[in-house]
Amino acid sequence: MKKIVCFGEIMMRLNPLNKERFIQADNFAISYSGAEANVCASLANYFEDSSQIYFVSKVPANELGKSSIKTLRSQNINTEYVVQGGQRLGLYFLEEGSSQRPSKVIYDRKNSSFAESSVTDYNWDIIFEDCSWFHFSGITPALSENLAEICKMACKKAKEKNIKISCDLNYRKKLWTTEKANSVMSELFEFVDVCIANEEDVQNVFGLQGSYEELAQKIIQKFSCKLVAFTLRESFSADKNIWSSLLFSKTESFKSEKYEIQIVDRVGAGDSFSGALIYALLNDYSNQNSLEFATAASCLKHSIHGDFNQVTVDEVLSLMNGNANGRIQR
Interacting positions 238-277 with its own copies (CB under 8 A): 238-240, 259, 261-264, 266-267
- Separation of alpha carbons 256 and 211, rounded Å: 17
Return d(Cα 242, Cα 259) in angstroms, integer: 5
Residue 102: CB minimum distance to its own copies, A: 5
Min separation Cβ 63 and its own copies, Å: 4
Q: Which of 1, 2, 27, 221 binds its own copies (CB under 8 A)?
A: 27
Q: Burial code of 9-21, b = ≥16 C-beta within 10 A, e = fewer? A: bbbbbbbbeebee
Strand bridging mode 240-248 / 253-255? antiparallel
Q: Which amino acid is at 237?
A: S
- Residue 168's closest CA among 318, 60, 274? 274
Residue 120 binds to its own copies (criterion: CB under 8 A): no
Does 111 sit near its own copies (CB under 8 A)?
yes
265: Cβ–Cβ under 8 A, 6 or more apart, which residues? 96, 302, 304, 305, 306
Q: Does 180 bind its own copies (CB under 8 A)?
A: no
According to CB under 8 A, which one of 23, 48, 120, 314 is a site residue for its own copies? 23
Task: Select from 26, 48, 284, 314 the one that contacts its own copies (CB under 8 A).
Answer: 26
Closer of 251 and 327 to its own copies (Cβ): 327
Query: Would you say 30 or 153 has its CB closer to its own copies?
Result: 30
Q: Of the candidates 84, 221, 237, 321, which one interacts with its own copies according to CB under 8 A?
A: 237
The least CB distance from residue 38 to its own copies, in Å, is 15
Taking the C-alpha atoms of residue 133 and residue 143, their distance in angstroms, rounded to an integer, is 22
